[in-house]
Amino acid sequence: MNKVTKIIATSVVFGLLPFATVQASPDEDLKALQGFFEKKFPDVKDGDFINGVYAIDEKSREQWEEMEEMPPYELAVDEGKELWAKKFGNGKTYADCFKQDLADIRVAYPYHDEDKDDIMTLEGAINSCRKDNDEKPLKWKKGKLAKLSAYIAFEGRGKKIDVKVETDKAKAWYEEGKTFFYAKRGQLNMACADCHVYYSGNMIRGDLLSPTLGHTSHFPVYRSKWGSLGTLHRRYGGCNKQVRAKPFKAQSRQYKALEYFEAYMSNGLELNGPGSRK
């Protein structure tokens, strides 16, 4: 049996879905998942889950720390800063759309907009700002939008993730994201949770699997494999393709719900975007 089939076989045999089957509140889910990872990775220091695989693998951490000394996203942050300051055709700028100080923007997303009954992501807010100012929307997964997101993330580093699920409508979005996270999909019939909860810390096709905790803290990410900066939804698409499932569109309902769930699961952790990964 190769690794993938072995993982599938084991998860079928043991019916490993303890978090998915219980109807729990978001807060109970959070405590259960954080507790699970604390037990699974007792050596990971408080708050270090934001560093993905580098929190659980000392060898690759050293290389990554070297890379972070001259971070590959540095130029993108500078470009994002220029884009941020550039005036729209009507003379306004992005800053006119956001009510927070620059350093408080990143931490305000994602959130549930009760009136629109929608999840507002940072990228979504940037493009709706453009729309409100009669500018064309930017492409969702990379390029200018990712650079703006990187600049805002950089300025918002150090704040603690604090996603709220307060109303019934918000809870419905949360449940949708949670269901997506635990649902098996694709030809390989694997859930996000298979790779990023139960098998986190194991290798799959030469890659170590990261825990879901902290997954949203550091995006957008410069990936060596991409050779560029990409948004969280770009990564989601890649992970869906890995199990030979059809990816959803960036900023689709499915990925917004998924981001909302994953970000909630990272509550209490520090924002450290943009990041760099293999």
Residues interacting with ligand HEC, by CB under 6 A? 52-53, 190, 192, 194-196, 204, 207, 209-210, 215, 221, 235-236, 239-240, 242-243, 258, 262, 277
CA-to-CA distance for 89 and 148, rounded, in angstroms?
Answer: 18
| Shortest separation between residue 195's beta carbon and ligand HEC, angstroms | 3
Rounded to whole angstroms, how far apart are CA atoms 160 and 269? Answer: 5
Of 127 and 210, the one with the shorter C-beta distance to ligand HEC is 210
- Report whether 188 contacts 4 (CB < 8 A): yes
Cβ neighbour number for residue 104 with a 10 Å cutoff: 13
Q: Which is nearer to ligand HEC, 29 or 262 (CB)?
A: 262
Smallest gap, in angstroms, from Cβ of residue 141 to ligand HEC? 14
Cα–Cα distance, 16 to 19 (Å, whole number): 9
Q: State in angstroms the smallest separation of the CB of 54 from ligand HEC.
A: 8
Residue whose CB is less far from ligand HEC, 53 or 129: 53
239 is catalytic: yes
User: CA-CA distances (angstroms) from residue 266 to 66, 149, 156?
Assistant: 26, 19, 16
Please give the torsion angle defined by the CA atoms of residues 247, 236, 186 and 24, in that order, rounded to the nearest 10 degrees. Answer: -120
Nearer to ligand HEC, 92 or 253 (CB): 253
CB of 28 to ligand HEC, least distance (A): 21
Q: Which of 97, 192, 195, 239 is catalytic?
A: 239
Q: Which among 231, 87, 120 has a CA at the least distance from the CA of 95?
A: 87
CB of 164 to ligand HEC, least distance (A): 20
Smaller CB separation from ligand HEC, 151 or 219:
219
Which structure tokens are listed for 190? 């694997």
How far is the C-alpha of 61 from the C-alpha of 87, rounded, in Å? Answer: 40
Of how many residues is the chain composed?
278
What are the catalytic residues? 239
